[in-house]
Amino acid sequence: MPAADSTALSDDAAHLLIVDDDARIRQLLHKFLSQNGFRVTVAADAAEARSKLDSFAFDLLVLDVMMPGESGLDLARAVRARSAVPILMLTARSETDDRIAGLETGADDYLAKPFDPRELLLRVGGILRRASLAPSAASDPEVRFGAFAYHRGRGELKRGDEVIRLTDRERDLLAALAERPGHTVPRSAIAGDDAAPGDRAVDVVVTRLRRKIEADPSNPILLQTVRGYGYRLLADE
């Protein structure tokens, strides 16, 4: 197996794949993330990324949406069909539709260009922490609704013994609702302070989560909309 294009680091360092057709961004992120303790491999397009994915196991993918040939969205969709590896999408700041589409493919988070590398570092760290939550939290309280149980301590959703895979955005939504089961959580509290007016990202995440927990997502029972205000998780007593 060929060596990754990354400086030697500890064996337990998280391995990131950066996919962007802009050589300047690839070089910048490679240097910055390597200096902050990550193993980094880069690819200039989806074809090269596929080759890297066949050769290495990655802990996180950072994919640019707009690339020549196969787009980052297409690549994310293909990856998600066979893997639960976390995905962070890089989008143009003005392209709300790209952010929505990224979430719909199963991406865990997105970051709008241009961005401060320090913000990317925070996003990457947050995604990796949530992807490897400590098992010692297993005794934390859990919220039950229908056939599901959500463990608040480790951010884990289960149906019986089956673990339901959640993206970071889905987990954040469920965590917010599970903090006050049966109570309405304002939409603004879920969307966050940086959400633009009319941003549909919350709606996309709600829709995706409903597909995982509702028998009929078009007529939700467990995750209810409180029109004009927010959402409510109908938990068991």
* DSSP letters for 48-107: HHHHHHHH---SEEEEES--SSS-HHHHHHHHHTT----EEEEEETT-HHHHHHHHHHT-
For 178, the 3-state DSSP assignment is helix
Interstrand relation of 39-43 and 60-64 (parallel, antiparallel or unpaired): unpaired
Report the range of poorest mean pLDDT among 5-9, 84-88, 161-165, 204-208.
5-9
Q: 15-131 falls under which CATH superfamily? A: Response regulator (3.40.50.2300)
What is the domain partition of the chain in residue ranges? 15-131, 138-233
pLDDT at 38: 92
Instruction: Judge whether residue 233 has pLDDT over 70.
Output: yes
Are the C-beta atoms of residues 141 and 152 closer than 8 Å to each other? yes
Mean pLDDT of 18-24: 95
**The model's pTM:** 0.60
CATH fold of 138-233 reads Arc Repressor Mutant, subunit A (1.10.10)
Q: Hey, CA dihedral for 39, 27, 72, 124, is it positive or negative?
A: positive
Of the candidates 57, 54, 36, 37, the one whose C-alpha atom is nearest the C-alpha of residue 46 is: 54
Confidence category of residue 1, pLDDT binned at 50, 70, 90: very low
Q: How far apart are CA 131 and CA 16, in angstroms?
A: 14
Between CA 171 and CA 71, with CA 62 as vertex, the angle to 5 degrees is: 105
Q: Considering the chain, what percentage of its residues have pLDDT values greater than 90?
A: 43
Residue 207, CB-side half-sphere exposure with 13 Å CA sphere: 12
State how far the alpha carbon of 98 is from the alpha carbons of 28, 44, 72, 93, 118, in Å.
23, 20, 10, 9, 22
